[in-house]
Amino acid sequence: MGKIILTAFMKLPLMFKGLSVAFVSMLEAIARSIDDIGYLIFNPLRTIRFQEVRDYISENAVTISLIIIFIILIYMTFSRRVN
């Protein structure tokens, strides 16, 4: 019994190393997907013809996105009440 506990205790750092490698790889995948999302969102802004419009959208992107999220939440709230 003592040998089993000793073996498990000695293998414990290997398990933590495996978990940390899995955690780091998961974080890298999340960071890569966030980077791709940023590219997909901000790349179409370059195709807008007028510089003033591009500047306005890029300066107020957070406000515009929050308004869109707020509108979606309001819509979801009222659509649940109807059903």
Predicted TM-score (pTM) of this structure: 0.39
Each of the 83 residues of the chain gets a pLDDT tens digit; together they read 566 665 666 666 766 767 777 777 888 888 777 777 767 776 776 777 788 877 887 788 788 888 999 999 998 888 876 65
**Of the candidates 61, 63, 67, 71, the residue with the CA atom closest to the CA atom of residue 38:** 61
Tokens of 75: 């819509």
Distance CA 41, CA 11 (A): 46
Give the pLDDT score at 70. 93
